[in-house]
Structure 1
Amino acid sequence: MTLLTRKTFLRVLGATAALLTLSANVFAAPLKVGFVYVSPIGDAGWTYQHDEARKIVQQEFGDKIETTFVESVAEGADAERVIRNMASRGYDLIFTTSFGYMNPTIKVGKMFPKVKFEHATGYKTAANVGNYQARDYEGRFLAGMIAGAMSKKNVIGYVGAFPIPEVIRGTNSFMLGAQVMNPDIKMKVVWVNTWHDPAKEREAAESLILQGADVITMHTDSAATIQAAEAKGVYSVGFNSDMSAYGPKTHLTSSTQHWESIYRAKIQAVLDGTWKPEAIWHGLREGVVALSPMNPAVPKEVVEKMEAYKMEIVAGTRAVYQGPIYDQAGALKVAEGKTLSDEELHQQNWYVKGIEGKIPQ
């Protein structure tokens, strides 16, 4: 080998080694994944379930990813600040996990076009913003069947967070399930206008019990409703996570969410370079929605009927919003043989027959 050829060879070899080192460093760097939570993580509820899923994917992906979170972030300006700060610190994928984070996520997404964002429970997407939801209404329907069967006074109660379609849909679904088991059932609703305020939630639950409800549930983040029911000796149905620890005697079951399959798929897509700003809505079929173990007080035949309905929903032979369905004024909203489309479910702003009171404007 001549001196010139040897020098050229060494130069090429050095350049190749440098490129290989650079490539190795790029792929060795973990994907930075951030989570923004609306309430404290605690040991039950909405945020708790999201954080459990974060822990699961962190363990599964190991050193391929690095996760962080910020909890108790108020919707609105505070959320925009937190999301923007996370994006500016080099996070590659950011999950924003509350309905009120939708517009702040879209706004920050425009500022950081190279960052991927995923928003929970919203309906907007952008070039770098996807959204994801759980079909909670499926679990609500099944849990409502249990509530309707266990009510002796024919009155059930519901603590609602905000009167948005997501919460209204859950309220209606719970009632439709209860009516399967008890056509004479009535529902009372108390709105607290907060996702997480244990004092307000407990007060609302106690108000429902005073109004005659003997099974109560909620669409809020804490276990205060379950605790209130346990203290009064009234049955309850939890939401988000298994809340049986807060009502060991009176908690019947919980409609739960398991977000890890969604987080796993989204993270893997970013790692693979295949991520797209999709809108997904997963439920019982995908394992994102489930019911927690039943209280032994629930009769075997009730559980069996609920399980049969569950299998039909999973198989696609039954829908929660399967006609005929009437609103509280007696108007036909879903004709016999028809079902509501996803678009109609997203826009729901009416109560089904049997729910008392009016939806706040």
Structure 2
Amino acid sequence: MYRRTLLAGAATLALTAGAAFAQDDPVKAGFIYVGPIGDGGWTYEHNKARLAVEEEFGDAVETVYQESVPEGADAERAITQMALSGADIIFTTSFGYMDPTIAVAEKFPDVKFEHATGYKRADNVSTYSARFYEGRAIQGHIAGSMTETNKIGYIASFPIPEVIRGINSAYLHAKRVNPDVEFSIVWAYTWFDPAKEADAARALIENGADVILQHTDSTAPQAAAQEAGNVITFGQASDMSEFAPLPRVSSIIDDWAPYYIDRVQAVMDGTWESQDVWHGIEEGMVGIGEISDAVPEDVKAEALELKAQLASGEYHPFTGPINRQDGSVWLEEGETATDETLLGMDFYVEGLTGDIPN
């Protein structure tokens, strides 16, 4: 079941290519969410950005949203309904919305679509994502420095390149500060399922993990770690600061607001064009939550220096020498990964155990 919320507002005038809106015609911006707006993570941050759009433009923009929309046929129906309701731009905010977004966009050529984390574009479909793997490098450094059992647990959502990149980045940077570290990965096959996420966290903790990383959206792993004690965690997508200073010692924060404001403005100005955006720490799309006092001062200083190097472009998280899991060379000494390789990443780096599910 999912709850649909449509905010009342004035009727909108569909945007035709190259034509700007009249001053008294509000733009209607729609948002399709994979989880509830109160998930405390991914969808929460997308909805914060929607509210920032409202604050920025006031009566010039009307926003609507639908939360907890399953990926697949349900998504196509929800996106279609939003387009039929008069939306001028629709943000579809989960990887599994990619094909439904493309399908609906073909039927509504005058509506602009923005798809998060995907790779399929069209004249009226843009794609955007964040370089989360940069934040994972910082998390890995802290995790590898702080673990006492040398066992780190990772709750993964789906085996797509975005998630695999994060696992590899976190592992490489944990391993560099602690050669004895081991990763255990649990594939949850969900973005948001608090019960399943909590069970995964408890299983990892019972197997000796004293650090839990997650690429799922709820705060359930944080709560499970807090209950267990002597386990550290990191906020995912949102700060999750209610669990600081322990177990949550830092976080990756997704800041979509500047991008959403910019793209809605482009629709208003009649300048919107299809594009592909992949921003990171440098542009502010990936934020690093405050590192708590539970982290030793020297480790905190190293993590902040790493953040600065990532922001400046001085350092790339995937810099060789790095081998693939089977021992074959992936990156030579000093070589950095191309975006093309990272966007299609479907392999573990050397040292990680287990197989990536199909």
Q: Same fold (TM over 0.5)?
A: yes
Alpha-carbon distance between aligned partners in 1 of 2:20 and 2:299, rounded to the nearest angstrom: 58
Question: What secondary structure does 1:263 align onto?
Answer: helix
Q: Are 2:55 and 1:55 aligned?
A: no
Among candidates 261, 277, 282, match of residue 280 of structure 1: 277
Q: 1:32: which partner in 2?
A: 28
Contact 1:147 1:237 in 2 (8 A): no
Aligned-residue offset at 1:242: 0.8
Aligned-residue offset at 1:314: 1.4
Among candidates 296, 301, 321, match of residue 318 of structure 2: 321
Q: 1:205: which partner in 2?
A: 201
Deviations 1:301-347 (A, max 9, x none): 11111111211111112101111112233222111121111110011
Question: What secondary structure does 1:52 align onto?
Answer: helix
Q: 2:97: which partner in 1?
A: 101
Question: What secondary structure does 1:293 align onto?
Answer: coil
Alpha-carbon distance between aligned partners in 1 of 2:237 and 2:21, rounded to the nearest angstrom: 40
Q: State which drifts further: 311-320 or 113-122.
A: 311-320
Q: Are 2:265 and 1:265 aligned?
A: no
Deviations 1:273-323 (A, max 9, x none): 111110100110010101111121101111111111211111112101111
Contact 1:37 1:96 in 2 (8 A): yes
1:210-225 to structure 2, matched below 5 A, reads: 210-225=206-221
Question: What secondary structure does 1:27 align onto?
Answer: coil
Aligned-residue offset at 1:249: 2.5
Question: What secondary structure does 2:253 align onto?
Answer: strand
Q: Are 2:87 and 1:91 aligned?
A: yes
Q: Are 2:354 and 1:357 aligned?
A: yes
Alpha-carbon distance between aligned partners in 2 of 1:256 and 1:144, rounded to the nearest angstrom: 16
Question: What secondary structure does 1:337 align onto?
Answer: coil
Read off the aligned partner of 2:265 and give its amino acid letter.
Q
Contact 1:226 1:247 in 2 (8 A): no
Contact 2:137 2:317 in 1 (8 A): yes
Aligned-residue offset at 1:24: 12
Task: From the superposition, tell whether residues 323 and 24 of structure 1 become closer, same or farther in structure 2 (CA, over 3 Å).
Answer: closer
Contact 2:39 2:219 in 1 (8 A): no
Read off the aligned partner of 1:145 and give its amino acid letter.
H
Aligned-residue offset at 1:248: 4.8
Alpha-carbon distance between aligned partners in 2 of 1:25 and 1:183, rounded to the nearest angstrom: 58
Read off the aligned partner of 1:185 and give its amino acid letter.
V
Normalising by structure 1, report the TM-score. Answer: 0.91
Question: What secondary structure does 1:28 align onto?
Answer: coil
Alpha-carbon distance between aligned partners in 2 of 1:24 and 1:257, rounded to the nearest angstrom: 30
Q: 1:20: which partner in 2?
A: none
1:163-182 to structure 2, matched below 5 A, reads: 163-182=159-178
Q: Are 2:277 and 1:251 aligned?
A: no
Contact 2:245 2:293 in 1 (8 A): no
Aligned-residue offset at 1:43: 5.1
Question: What secondary structure does 1:26 align onto?
Answer: coil
Q: State which drifts further: 66-75 or 23-32.
A: 23-32
Contact 1:56 1:260 in 2 (8 A): yes
Alpha-carbon distance between aligned partners in 2 of 1:300 and 1:251, rounded to the nearest angstrom: 16
Read off the aligned partner of 2:314 and give its amino acid letter.
T
Q: Are 2:303 and 1:289 aligned?
A: no
Question: What secondary structure does 1:91 align onto?
Answer: coil
Read off the aligned partner of 2:284 and give its amino acid letter.
G
Q: State which drifts further: 351-360 or 277-286.
A: 351-360
Alpha-carbon distance between aligned partners in 2 of 1:341 and 1:100, rounded to the nearest angstrom: 24
Unaligned runs of 5+ in 1: 1-22
Read off the aligned partner of 2:301 and give its amino acid letter.
E
By percentage of residues, which structure has more helix? 1
Alpha-carbon distance between aligned partners in 1 of 2:20 and 2:133, rounded to the nearest angstrom: 46
Contact 1:322 1:338 in 2 (8 A): yes
Alpha-carbon distance between aligned partners in 1 of 2:224 and 2:323, rounded to the nearest angstrom: 32
Contact 2:29 2:87 in 1 (8 A): yes
Normalising by structure 2, report the TM-score. Answer: 0.92
Alpha-carbon distance between aligned partners in 2 of 1:248 and 1:42, rounded to the nearest angstrom: 22
Provide runs of 4+ in structure 1 moved above 6 Å.
Answer: none
Q: 1:194: which partner in 2?
A: 190
Task: From the superposition, tell whether residues 25 and 193 of structure 1 become closer, same or farther in structure 2 (CA, over 3 Å).
Answer: closer
Contact 2:148 2:210 in 1 (8 A): yes
Aligned length: 339
Read off the aligned partner of 2:185 and give its amino acid letter.
V
Larger CA Rg, structure 1 vs 2: 1
Deviations 1:190-217 (A, max 9, x none): 0011111111111111111122111001
Alpha-carbon distance between aligned partners in 2 of 1:137 and 1:232, rounded to the nearest angstrom: 28
Q: State which drifts further: 338-347 or 320-329.
A: 320-329
Pairwise CA RMSD? 1.5
Q: 1:15: which partner in 2?
A: none
Deviations 1:192-246 (A, max 9, x none): 1111111111111111112211100110111111111111111111210011314
Alpha-carbon distance between aligned partners in 2 of 1:255 and 1:148, rounded to the nearest angstrom: 17
